[in-house]
Structure 1
Amino acid sequence: MNFVKRAGTSLGARRSKTAALLAIFLAICTLLLGGFLLQAAAARQEADAQRTIGVDVTVRKEGLTPALADRLGALPQVHRCNAEVPVRAGAQGFTPLASKVPEPGGAAADDGKGALAVNGVRDSGMLLPFSYGSTKLTSGRGITPEDAGRDVAVIEERLADENRLKVGDTLRVRSADGERTTSVTVVGVFRDPAREPTAWTPPHQLPGNTLYVPMGTAQKLGTGTGTGTGTGTGTGTGTGTGTGTGTGTGDATVSAVVLKIGSPDRARELHARTEELLGKDGFEFRVNDKAYKDQVLPVQRVGAFAGLVVWVIALAGALILGLIVMLQIRERRSELGVLLALGEKKWKLIGQHAVEVAAVALPAVALAALAGSLAGESAGEALLGRRDDKPASAPRAPDRETAPPTVRVEPADVGKVSGIALGISLVSTVIPGIGILRLHPRSILTDTA
């Protein structure tokens, strides 16, 4: 008789034991699939964290220029880049805020550099007050890298209320020396939680007089130009006259560059590339990976735990099923003796047991896949959901939180579980079946009797 057909007949005749074997295999396959699903979800969430949270590296150097900041932002390790160019500026056509506290009699008068604190940035979303949510946009948008070459501005809510400004209005801002005026379009209004100082404060230090503009706009407000003419005469060969113009930089230098990289492991590579650009000495290189560790390390631990679960379940499943098959072989020794006496080959007897176990394993994989698709999302939320260990009053970073875990059953995961299940079937039948190869029909029937 064909041993495959005989395996089907045996499963039908032993329904209760087949159902018990199916239940055991279902538990094993469900745990295996759960481990693979958690591994995949953890890997996706870690990749998302590297893209959205990342690690902030702050580089400071005296005399750092916007050109060098752009070269730092173009390094292959960098995902996002922001540079800040702080300058002082004056207002034309609108009124800056003034301190509500009278100026003390002995205080020095304003030095004439302007009442506005203008910060040229490449990406305002990377500024800590915005990224952690303490400073929020109330209307419009922030400064983005696409604003390079445009004259736009994001202003504070108090300055907007004082001058009845809104998104779309145009402001005229003049340089600190009063030589140049630039028109900027308001694209956003933000709210700074800092309160008005209780003591007299210079206008440019008031939180309401802060503006964010693209770096190019800040450079125009912080650059001075000069012209000169000269004449000269010489004896003997001729005379000549000449005129010339020149430009020089004022306050338009970069105070700091913030670079976002994927993980702390890449900080060493970035430091080496920064040394190539800025020299080995004279710059500050600070790595802030706290947000990354707070969000990513728990995810990595869950992924490692899921991988360990897969190995433990695979080994334990093979051991348990091997013991079950061994017990079944002992119970069916008389059946084996009769088949061997009829001339059946020993390898076919082992093959029959392997087919029986595999025939139970495949439906168990299908049921496990169905259970995974139904319960996987809730299990992922429980093990990989967002963690909030901060008190309610602590500042939060909305754009620094990983997205909710996505646990979904992929064909590749089902294929892995099927392969392991079939491997367990083979191991759990072949190893106990080695004893069959060493027996003879007479010894089996004699021992049974």
Structure 2
Amino acid sequence: MDYVKRAFLYLRRRIGKTLLLVLVMTAILTFMLAGLIIQNAALTAVNNSKNAVGTTVTLSANRAKLFQQNQGSASSSTQTPPTGGFRMNEAIIGLNTAKKIASLENVAAYQITASASVNASSFTAVLSSNSNSNGGFGRMQGTDSGDISVSGLSSTAANSNFKNKNYVMKKGRGITSSDANTNNVIIEKVLASNNHINVGDTIKVKDSSSNVKSLKVVGIYQAKTSTDQTFGQTQDPSNTIFSSYTLASSLAGDAGKVSNVVYTLTDSSKEKAFVKSAKKIISGNLQLTTSDQIYEMLTSSVKSIESIASKIVWIVGIAGIAILTLILILMVRERRHEIGILMSLGEEKAKIIGQIFVETISVLVISLCFAGVFGSFFGNSIGQQLISQQNTSQQSLRSGFGGPGGGNSNQAGPNSNTAGSGSPSNSRALGGQMRQFGTAVTGNSQLNKLSTHVSIGTLLELGAFGLVIVAIATLLGAIPIISLKPKRILISE
């Protein structure tokens, strides 16, 4: 074990070169650790998102088919289409159809949703700070949108915004299945405060036919988000009222029909069998979207970040091998006389290489400690920058397909369904899906930020990578030693 002692003596004697090697190794390991942290955080976010989505099948309108029908109607009609374009009604799912599918085997629960746009009658809607007072872009032309959005559902407990704590109940109770066929609603805290509305009060709105409807407030919730965008229109979330899906359908003039049904399955392995049975019940104007498709949309940005982090690890690893190999080759050249003396005294070449390996391993251990301190900081900074860029790109993509997700309106935008717009129908269909699942995308906290921290497992993984780099670099750097002859070294010296 003399070569081990010689390794530590050399590190102490050449403290300057040792510190330089520690600095280089720390830089390599820090960037590798940052990549590993981001990669592991992305994998955790993907797995958590998959668990959050669960095994679900969504029944919704087939937007591509409806768009084609609207185009056919426009081309066959001699009348000039309205200036604002066509209104594509997505509330075409009959309750009987929805409940018939719910009665199939393997359904654990289901959530029915519908939406309506109404105007406040006995109270005043909250004005968004981003709204245009001139009316030029404050509301889209050619639509019958009101100043209040009514989001109908089976229960608020199953809604993604309430599950993710983006919306929190403050007074009263939420909407439950017992509120079906009632006028019970819950309103946002700011809207309630501005109009002095309390739980138990009655408010009035004008529906799509300008009929005044009385609604009973059974709860008040608080929205943590400040704005909501629907088809490029900025809308204050305080103007969203939650009710049973039956009330929303009635207010929209679509009584007995809803726009979306999400079925949660008991056994994920029987998802294909369920879809096959459900397709026999629905018409061609409806479509079924599986949880795998939703999961892919939820995790597309995070998977991209995972890929970038993986490339960082590989690039830094390869660069680290190259840099360390070059440094070790230079070190060997400087130590030719020392190596020649050891070899002339009968020391084996393997032990000389082992001495260099021990020296490098010692530097690796010290560098791991420093990398653990700096890696978390760099990993968090790089990770948040990447997720911000990916979220911006994904938001732009959703906007390009007809508006961001999370909108509650059931009206189509002025350009989304106009004949001759030039956009393919499958893009319209994708836009509809992105809007349907946009709330889940933006509401999932795992996707809005990466939980980047240094764990023991990550440090062990980094240590394994570092050990491989050191081993390869040592072997490559020791090539000159293998070819050296003691006599030639000492004569040349």
TM-score tier, shorter chain, comes to 0.5 to 0.7
Alignment coverage as a number of residue pairs: 348
Matches of residues 82-161 of structure 1 in structure 2 within 5 Å? Answer: 82-84=111-113, 121-124=153-156, 140=172, 142-144=174-176, 153-154=184-185
- Output the CA distance in 2 between the equivalents of 1:18 and 1:399: 52
Is 1:277 aligned with 2:278? yes
Could you say which structure has the larger radius of gyration? 1
State yes or no: 1:28 paired with 2:73: no
AA aligned opposite 2:312: V
The equivalent residue for 1:356 is 359
Q: Identify if the C-alpha distance between structure 1 residues 67 and 290 changes in structure 2 by more than 3 Å, giving closer, same or farther.
A: closer
Shift of 1:188: 5.0
Give the aligned residue type for 2:185: V
Question: How much has 1:47 moved relative to structure 2?
Answer: 3.9
Displacement of 1:319 in angstroms is 1.6
The answer on whether the counterparts of 2:95 and 2:256 sit within 8 Å (CA) in structure 1 is yes
**Structure 2 Cα separation of the partners of residues 366 and 71 of structure 1:** 59
Task: Quote how far apart the aligned CAs of 1:408 are.
Answer: 0.6
Q: What is the CA-CA distance between 1:36 and the residue it aligns to?
A: 0.4
TM-score by length of 1: 0.60
AA paired with 2:155? D
Q: Which amino acid aligns with 2:33?
A: L
Matches within 5 A, 1:313-332: 313-332=316-335
Q: What is the SS of the residue equivalent to 1:64? A: helix
Amino acid at match of 1:404: K
Out of 244, 252, 257, the residue aligned to residue 213 of structure 1 is 244
Take 1:214 and 1:63, find their aligned partners in 2: how far apart are those partners? 10
The DSSP-based 3-state class of the residue aligned with 1:336 is: helix
Displacement of 1:149 after TM fit? Answer: 9.5
Mapped to 2, the partners of 1:28 and 1:338 lie a distance apart of: 33
> CA separation of 1:333/1:120 partners in 2, compared to 1, >3 Å: closer, same or farther?
closer
Residues 408 and 442 of structure 1, relative CA distance in 2, 3 Å threshold: same
1:203 aligns to what?
none
Q: Deviations over 1:21-46 (max 9, x none)?
A: 11110110001000001112222333
Residue in structure 2 matched with residue 306 of structure 1 by the alignment: 309
Distance 1:190 1:37, change over 3 A: closer
Deviation digits for residues 269-299 of structure 1 (CA, Å, limit 9, x no counterpart):
9566322234176251165999987864333
Cα separation, 2, equivalents of 1:16 and 1:119: 69
- Mapped partners of 2:112, 2:480: distance in 1: 74
Aligned residue type for 2:462: V
Structure 2 counterparts to residues 148-227 of structure 1, below 5 A? 153-154=184-185, 166-168=198-200, 186-188=218-220, 212-213=243-244
For the residue of structure 1 that corresponds to 2:467, the secondary structure is helix
Counterpart contact for 1:53–1:292, Cα < 8 Å: yes
| Distance in 2, Cα, partners of 1:344 & 1:295 | 61
Deviation at 1:124, TM superposition (A): 4.7
Verify the 8 A CA contact 1:148 1:214 in the aligned structure 2: no
Task: Provide the aligned C-alpha RMSD in A.
Answer: 5.2
Aligned to 1:58: 59
| 2:486 alignment partner, one of 431, 441, 447 | 441
- 2 CA distance for matches of 1:119 and 1:32? 47
Map 1:325-344 → 2, pairs under 5 A:
325-344=328-347
Distance in 2 (alpha carbons) for counterparts of 1:211 and 1:417: 49
Distance 1:41 1:261 in 2: 27
SS at match of 1:282: coil
Residues of 2 paired with 1:396 and 1:278: CA distance? 26
Change (3 A) 1:129 1:420: closer
- Mapped partners of 1:378, 1:426: distance in 2: 31
> Deviation at 1:336?
0.9
Query: In structure 2, what is the Cα distance between the partners aligned to 1:119 and 1:31?
Result: 47
Distance 2:160 2:50 in 1: 18
Write the distance in 2 (CA, Å) between the matches of 1:342 and 1:41: 53
1:186–1:326 Cα change, 3 Å: same
Matches within 5 A, 1:227-238: none
Q: Is the 8 A contact 2:42 2:450 kept in 1?
A: yes
Q: Distance in 2 between matches of 1:119 and 1:338?
A: 85
Query: 2:11 — aligned with what?
Result: 11
Is residue 114–residue 152 contact of structure 2 (8 Å, CA) maintained in 1?
A: yes
Q: Which has the higher strand share?
A: 1
Residue type at the aligned position of 2:102 = D
- Partners of 2:392 and 2:277 lie apart in 1 by 40
CA distance in 2, matches of 1:214, 1:429: 69
Q: Which residue of 2 aligns with 1:41?
A: 41
Percent of aligned pairs sharing the same letter = 27
Post-superposition shift, 1:97?
A: 7.4
Asked if the contact 1:82/1:124 (under 8 Å) is kept, the reply is no
